[in-house]
Amino acid sequence: MDYFKNLLQLLKTEREEDRDAYLKLTQSSSVTDRRAAGITWYPIAIRGSEPGRGDYIMVELERTTHKDLSHQFRFGAPAVLFSNHNAGTDRVEGTIAYQGGDRLKITLFTDELPDWCRDGKLGVELLFDNNSYDEMQDALKQASVLSDKPEGKLIRVLTGKNDPTFSAEINQVTPGNLNTSQAASVQQILSANELAVVHGPPGTGKTTTIVQAIKHLIQQNEKQILVVAPSNTAVDLLSEKLAIEGLNVLRIGNPARVSEKLTALTLDSKMAAHSYMKDAKQLKKQAAGYKNMAHQYKRSFGKRERDQRKALFDEAHRIIKDVGKIEQFIIDDLVEKAQVITATLVGCNHHTVRDKRYNTVVIDEAGQALEPACWIPILKAEKVIMAGDHFQLAPTIKSDAAAKKGLNTTLLEKSAILHPGAVTLLEEQYRMNEAIMGFSSAAFYGNRLKANASVANRLLFNGDIPMSFVDTAGCGFDEKADGTSTVNPDEAAFVLKHLDALAEKLTKHHADFPSIAIISPYKSQVRLLKELFEASPLYIHTDKISINTIDSFQGQERDVVYISMARSNTEGAIGFLSDIRRMNVAMTRARKKLVIIGDSATITRLPFYADMVKYAEQCGGYQSGWEYLS
């Protein structure tokens, strides 16, 4: 089927681009550069080891310095333990079994720690993740084969060959704590035979809706549901909410946030609490004892010692096999009893749940999910529920060529276009003042959004204007190129000046100091804003003010949001800003006040921004930057 052939080709292009970038980074750079890029921890210390699955050993590592550097280590990723004494040869590969804070556990593909581990200078480094690409590729190939078979009904619906069907016999959902569009969405999910799409614009309670739908499905006798999302953070949020509703949730993989509530839902934690685990622990101790005895035989020994050593190792291995059987029994028992299994898209193929089938799979944040990754969970189910918003950030794609040829179009977006009858739009939002919401509603959601009465008119203080555009055209704030990014020093200084004036007004009105985000699409602008902020009197409010890129604020909200557009040039070049979905995310983070600062002469060449400036005028929120400069 051409549909999957095309996707396989795009995935191949993406894999090659990703691998080239990885090789470029690892082959020619020092351990310091790789550490700064977030793919290496060095130096590290070994904090413990225990027998792992099969003949492998699990080792716990801790990074001992540079703890402030962000990194990309995560559960399931392939990695290598190495010694910097002899990095070319002293290395052993494995898979990350746990990551939290500055510690990680790695299952090494060997049954004992190499001798060079005692000599210090140890590090751990991420390998290129071929596994995730292999899983996606296999799923696409499998979908292609199944698409013409009787059991490929769901595949034919998703690729547009068949229409989705709905069952009429489903009981009416009583709204309870849901609003009208949320209840309609749950109703649609319950009656869908193959596909339902929940389109959740910012602040409309998408998670609440999905959680209630899952609860209803379980009440309707669905034994087990698979719930997945592209990021660990999204999986964590759903796992926690589902557990609060009293469902038995099993979280495969380890959470991004280390909280007791979440950790209790993981397979490791549930295994540790299982009644049979005492026996396994006892046996592990025994095996370790035999291994230690075997190690006491030094190198210069004869046949008798050699036989003795071998007998001790054999006994240790036999015990470890028994441990493996007990652990497998515990895993099967826990998996069997779970009502909801939660994981990332690739994580749902973890060896503990790999062969499981479900009636329903729920894909949350499907607007940020790469389509090939979505097919991994879809092949395990008869019916798929996708939730997300294709008018917010798309998935991250490394290859521009693959993105342009369609890899950046998500399955959520395709389904919304192919099967509009399967989509329900959540129409009531609980985040923004209606003036902040209005432009986004008109530009993206056909003017269908309405603000809940609890938020519709809330302000920072009486008489404040909730949505404003401050126009810097003619102020001489010119942008500068900074590597691959853009920076506008005058505009950055202006943003803080404007915020300073707002802080004075708050004091005058005796209003509490609000939570504030200053965001920009450009990393260089963000970096400069942070520097200026640290040197400004506003720094005393550092616990209330956060500064970052737009992308890092997806899913978050603040009382006040400032957007620094940064672009100001005579050509009207706007680069990144032409991705209006990113701007939709930016404009919908604010609860009570949104301030956009930019050069209208540059940005309004794109009709979207011309409409935005016009909208600000209608709200009484258009201001010229000159007012603040004079």
Do 213 and 310 share a structural domain?
A: no
pLDDT tens sequence across 38-70: 999 999 999 998 877 777 899 999 999 999 898
Distance from C-alpha of 33 to C-alpha of 465, rounded to nearest angstrom: 47
Which residue's structure tokens are 């006798």?
A: 221
Looking at the structure of the chain, the number of domains it has is 4
Contact 341/334 with Cβ under 8 angstroms? no
State the pTM of this model.
0.91
Q: How confident is the model at residue 1 (pLDDT cuts 50, 70, 90)?
A: low
**Residue 257 lies inside a defined structural domain of this protein:** no
Do 464 and 422 share a structural domain?
A: no
Is residue 9 pLDDT above 80, yes or no?
yes
**Residue 95 lies inside a defined structural domain of this protein:** yes
- Characterize 420-446 residue by residue with b for buried, 16 or more Cβ atoms within 10 angstroms of its Cβ, and e for exposed: eebbbbbbbbebbbbbbbbbbbebbbe
Mean pLDDT to the nearest integer, 20-27: 90
Mean pLDDT check: name the lowest of 96-100, 121-125, 616-620. Answer: 96-100
Mean pLDDT to the nearest integer, 301-311: 81
pLDDT tens sequence across 326-369: 889 999 999 999 999 999 999 999 999 999 999 999 999 999 99
Mean pLDDT to the nearest integer, 371-376: 98
Which residue's structure tokens are 């260089």?
A: 524
Is residue 85 pLDDT above 90, yes or no?
no
How are the residues of the chain apportioned to helix, strand and coil, as percentages rounded to the nearest 5? 45, 20, 35
E strand residue ranges, 84-206: 91-100, 103-108, 122-126, 195-199
- 3-state secondary structure string across 303-352: HHHHHHHHHHHHHHHHHHHHHHHHHHHHHHHHHHHCCEEEEECCHHHCCC
Single residue among 110, 128, 146 that ends a domain in this structure: 128
pLDDT tens sequence across 136-145: 999 999 999 9
Do 368 and 503 share a structural domain?
A: no
Is residue 299 pLDDT above 80, yes or no?
no
* Cβ-based burial of 404 (10 A; exposed 0-12, middle 13-18, buried ≥19): exposed
pLDDT at 300: 60
Contact 228/345 with Cβ under 8 angstroms? yes
**Residue 7 lies inside a defined structural domain of this protein:** no
Do 221 and 162 share a structural domain?
A: yes
Do 484 and 368 share a structural domain?
A: no
Do 561 and 476 share a structural domain?
A: yes
Q: Which of 230, 495, 467, 237 minimizes the C-alpha distance to 369? A: 230
Distance from C-alpha of 234 to C-alpha of 257, rounded to nearest angstrom: 11
- The proportion of the chain whose per-residue pLDDT surpasses 90, expressed as a percent, equals 78
Q: How confident is the model at residue 257 (pLDDT cuts 50, 70, 90)?
A: confident
pLDDT at 580: 96
**Residue 458 lies inside a defined structural domain of this protein:** yes
pLDDT at 371: 98
List phi, psi (to 5°) of 60.
-100, 130
pLDDT at 323: 85
* Cβ-based burial of 28 (10 A; exposed 0-12, middle 13-18, buried ≥19): exposed
Q: Which of 628, 499, 483, 494 minimizes the C-alpha distance to 566? A: 494
Q: How confident is the model at residue 119 (pLDDT cuts 50, 70, 90)?
A: confident
**Residue 503 lies inside a defined structural domain of this protein:** yes
Distance from C-alpha of 378 to C-alpha of 357, rounded to nearest angstrom: 10
What are the distances in angstroms from CA 425 to CA 128, 182, 365? 39, 8, 15
Do 175 and 100 share a structural domain?
A: no
Do 422 and 460 share a structural domain?
A: no
Distance from C-alpha of 265 to C-alpha of 255, rounded to nearest angstrom: 9
Q: How confident is the model at residue 298 (pLDDT cuts 50, 70, 90)?
A: low
Which residue's structure tokens are 């068949």?
A: 162
pLDDT tens sequence across 238-256: 999 999 999 999 999 888 8
Is residue 566 pLDDT above 70, yes or no?
yes
User: Domain range holding 491?
Assistant: 431-628
**Residue 205 lies inside a defined structural domain of this protein:** yes
